[in-house]
Amino acid sequence: MGTSGPPVVGEWYMLPRGESFEVVAYDHEEETVEIQYFDGAVEELELETWLELDAEPIEPPEDWSGSVDIMREDYGMEDRANPYRPKNPLDELDINDKD
**Going by C-beta distance under 8 Å and a sequence separation of 6 or more, which residues neighbour residue 55?**
3, 13, 14, 15, 21
pTM as predicted:
0.62
Calculate the CA 47 to chain-centre distance.
23
The predicted model gives 57-63 an average pLDDT of 86
Range of the domain at 85: 12-97
* 82 in any annotated domain: yes
Residues 24-55 have pLDDT tens digits of 999 999 999 999 998 889 999 999 999 999 89
Give domain status of residue 89, yes or no: yes
Q: Would 7 be classed as within a structural domain?
A: no
- Higher-pLDDT residue of 82, 57: 57
- Report yes or no on 54 lying in a domain: yes
Among 1-5, 26-30, 63-67, the range scoring the smallest mean pLDDT is 63-67
Structurally, the chain folds into a number of domains equal to 1
Handedness of CA 74, 76, 81, 82 (dihedral sign): negative
| Segment 18-22 mean pLDDT | 92
SS3 82: coil
Q: Is 1 within a domain?
A: no
59 in a domain, yes or no? yes
